[in-house]
Structure 1
């Protein structure tokens, strides 16, 4: 499961589509709808949020907005608690470290080298701190403790 911290506009097609599918699974886990993946480290930050289902819902909305802008059709009815990611960030942000953002950008870059080399031109330059998902608020720091390397 990879719940990207990167802004959805940075993700290539495969990462965006997989991110949607995996965030739907995360939503199911957080709603108590499955016994699998309940201890997955990517869920740590959503569980720590005062409203985990609202947080994953806003995360899904952010992915869906980008997908819609690209002409894809992600089914909004699958989001249990849709919300505005920017508004939720204002009231209860989920922090993400700049080290995590850079780590994920490097991970995405490696994936794009194999599956979508044309997308590499659209990625932020090495050393740049990429924009986070609209729900997340960037702060200085190393790679997150929950990241599995």
Structure 2
């Protein structure tokens, strides 16, 4: 499961579509609709919120808006808690996490869609976060499973 911390606007098509599917799975897990993935480390940031379903709903709304801006049709009716998505408290994410994810995405895009690479922030440039997230200083998040 990869719940990108990156602004969905910089995700390539494959990452955006996969992110939508995986966030819908995260929503199902948080709603108690499945037993699998309950302890997945990337769910922690949602589970720690006062209203996890509203938070994951706001996350999904961000993905859906980015998809709509590109002409994709993600079914917004699948979001259990879309109301007040703009009023959900923002979740902190470290600059180190965003930089790590940019590099992770860069490695994937360089293989599957090299023409997308110029759209990714350059090394040293600020990496935009998903609209639900607020960038704070710090290293890679402790819930991230860092690939060797």
Q: TM-score scaled to structure 1, two decimals? A: 0.95
In structure 1, the gaps of 5 or more residues are: none
- Residue 17 of structure 1 aligns to a residue whose secondary structure is helix
- Residue 137 of structure 1 aligns to a residue whose secondary structure is strand
Kept after mapping to 2: 8 A contact 1:102/1:128: no
Matches within 5 A, 1:1-149: 1-88=1-88, 92-149=89-146
Q: How many residues align?
A: 146
Kept after mapping to 1: 8 A contact 2:6/2:127: yes
List, as ranges, runs of 4+ consecutive aligned residues in structure 1 with deviation greater than 4 Å.
none
Kept after mapping to 1: 8 A contact 2:95/2:135: yes
Kept after mapping to 2: 8 A contact 1:85/1:134: no
User: For 1:29-54, what per-residue CA distance to the aligned partner results, in whole angstroms no more than 9, with x for missing partners?
Assistant: 00000011010000000000111000
How far apart in 1 are the matches of 2:84 and 2:102? 24
User: For 1:67-88, what per-residue CA distance to the aligned partner results, in whole angstroms no more than 9, with x for missing partners?
Assistant: 0010100001100000454432
How far apart in 1 are the matches of 2:107 and 2:125? 16
Q: CA deviation at 1:93?
A: 1.7
In structure 2, the gaps of 5 or more residues are: none
Q: TM-score scaled to structure 2, two decimals? A: 0.96
How far apart in 2 are the matches of 1:129 and 1:147? 20
- Residue 32 of structure 2 aligns to a residue whose secondary structure is coil
How far apart in 2 are the matches of 1:108 and 1:141? 20
- Residue 81 of structure 1 aligns to a residue whose secondary structure is coil
How far apart in 2 are the matches of 1:120 and 1:96? 23
